[in-house]
Amino acid sequence: MVPYRGQWKILSVGLLSIALALIGPTPAAAQDEEKPYVIKDGVVDWYTFSGFRRYHAECHVCHGPDGLGGSFAPALVESLKTLPYDEFLEVVVNGREQVGASVQSKMPAFGENLNVMCFVDDLYAYLKARSDGALGRGRPKKQPKPQEARERDDACMG
Ligand code: HEC
């Protein structure tokens, strides 16, 4: 069981920073040991596959296929080498904008988009697997969808 799965649900856009302060930093050691994905003989767990699908529905137009980056937005395969889960979550929920003299780039806020937020941990698992070099490009082979995932999706999507 991955400790942070579902953690976003207790956060709301306005309360995010307070909530993060209450949760406190995740110990680095725990993050090192616990991988958010399982890949066995080239077959990924359902959640990681779900992340692949959601990524290519919601994020790839800006961030490029397979997390490799595009002309609009950075390569998340690179970002996740250093970006911790909490900060990933923060950017996805609230978005981010940088306006400069020559550059203007905008990451939209997805905090109220269930098609993203219900699967944000799947997105993280997929992108982390890509950034760790554990998963190649393209559509991965997947494990069947477990009952637990069905229940989770139903509960979240309503
Ligand atoms: C409309 C284009 C667009 C879409 C769609 C989009 N992003 Fe972004 N994203 C950006 C831009 C532009 C940035 C860089 C923002 C900045 O300069 O601070 C960014 C930054 C990020 C970052 C921070 C990267 C870093 O290196 O700090 C993360 C994480 C991220 N996006 C995740 C996602 C995820 C996950 C999705 C899909 C649910 C998504 N984005 C969809 C445009 C987009």
How is residue 49 written in tokens? 């596959």
pLDDT band for position 5 (cuts 50, 70, 90): low
Q: Calculate the dihedral angle through the C-alpha atoms of 81, 113, 54, 69, rounding to the nearest 10 degrees.
A: -40
Second CATH level (architecture) for the domain 40-157 = Orthogonal Bundle (1.10)
pLDDT, mean of residues 79-101: 92
Question: Which residues, judged by CB distance below 6 Å to any ligand atom, belong to the binding site of ligand 1?
Answer: 58-59, 61-63, 72-74, 76, 79, 83, 88, 91-92, 96, 98, 105-108, 110, 116, 123
Q: Please give the pLDDT value at position 23.
A: 53
- On the CB side of 114, CA atoms within 13 Å amount to 7
Contact, 93 vs 110, CB < 8 A?
Answer: yes
Q: Which residue has the tokens 């993060």?
A: 20
pLDDT band for position 72 (cuts 50, 70, 90): confident
33-49 pLDDT per residue, tens: 589 999 999 999 999 99
Q: Please give the pLDDT value at position 121.
A: 98
Contact, 54 vs 32, CB < 8 A?
Answer: no
